[in-house]
Structure 1
Amino acid sequence: MTFQPTSPFPPHGSAQQVAFHRTELAAILSVYGRMVAAGEWRDYGISSLRDVAVFSVFRRTAENPLYRIEKRPKLRSRQGQYAVIGMDGQVLKRGHDLRTVLRVLERKLIRAVD
C-alpha cells in the first residue's frame, strides 16, 4: 500500500479564475471615471470567479448594483464574451468587443440641456 499525500489546493491550472485584463480594466475605468465625474456613480466592486469576471457599478455603497459588466470566456465563440447587465437582470448589450458593449452605458451620460 502506497501513501499519496493530498493537497487541499487544486492542481495548478485546473481551476483558474476568470479576470479582467489590464486593457479591459482601462476601458471600463474610463467609462466609470466619466460617470463618477457626472455624479451618476459612486462605487464599484470587482469579482473574479471560476466562470465569470464581474465589474459591478453602484450608485451608493449599500445597495444592489446598477449595472454589471461581465466577462464570460466560454461565450467567446457564440454571442460574445462581454455583457452589460442592468439592475433587473436584463442584458442591455452583449458582444465580442468591450468598447462597443460599453457604449450602452455612455448613452446614459448624454442628456438634454435645459
Structure 2
Amino acid sequence: MNVQSPTPFPGQRANEQVAFQRPELSLILGLYGRFVAAGEWRDYGISCLRDVAVFSIFRRTAEHPIYRIEKRPRLRGRQGMYAVIGMDGQVLKRGHDLRTVLGVLERKLIRAVE
C-alpha cells in the first residue's frame, strides 16, 4: 500500500511553512541558554508561518517579546534572510549569516555579565 500526500489543485500551492533547520536552532538555543544562565531571559516561542519563521524571546512569560529572530527566505537575495528585531520593531541586524546576525545579541550578553 502506498501513502501519498494530497496534491494541490492546479493554481494552488501546497501548504508550505518556513521553519528553522537544526543547525540554525542549535545556534539560537545556544545563545538563548547563555542568556537564561545570566538571568536575562526566561521564555521563548517559535512560530512557523507561510513566509517567515520567528523565534520570539521573552523576559517574562506574559510580556511582549523583547527580541525576535526572523528567517525570511524570500529576502535571501536582497538584504539577507535572517534578522534580529527589537521590542519596538526596529531591525537591529539583518544579514545572510545567522551567526553574524546573532552577534548583535552576543554583545549584550557581555555587558550583562560584567
C-alpha distance in 2, partners of 1:16/1:41?
31
- What TM-score, normalized by structure 1, do the two folds share? 0.87
* 1:56 positional shift: 0.1
State the partner residue of 1:46. Answer: 46
* The structure with more helix, counted as a fraction of residues: 2
Please, which runs of 5 or more residues in structure 1 have no aligned partner? 1-8
Which of the two has higher C-alpha Rg? 1
* 1:41 positional shift: 0.2
State the partner residue of 1:91. Answer: 91
- CA offsets 1:56-104 (integer angstroms, 9 cap, x no match): 0000000000000000000000000000000000000000000000010
Identity rate, percent: 77
C-alpha distance in 1, partners of 2:87/2:107?
16
Matched, 1:15 2:12: no
* 1:110 positional shift: 1.3
C-alpha distance in 2, partners of 1:99/1:53?
16
- What TM-score, normalized by structure 2, do the two folds share? 0.87
Structure 1 residue ranges, 4+ long, deviating more than 3 angstroms after superposition: none
Task: Indicate the larger mover: 55-64 or 13-22.
Answer: 13-22
C-alpha distance in 1, partners of 2:77/2:7?
28
Please, which runs of 5 or more residues in structure 2 have no aligned partner? 1-5
* 1:28 positional shift: 0.2
State the partner residue of 1:55. Answer: 55
* 1:14 positional shift: 2.3
1:62 is matched by which residue type in structure 2? A
Matched, 1:64 2:64: yes
* Aligned CA distance change for structure 1 residues 62 and 16 (closer, same or farther; 3 Å): same
* 1:39 positional shift: 0.3
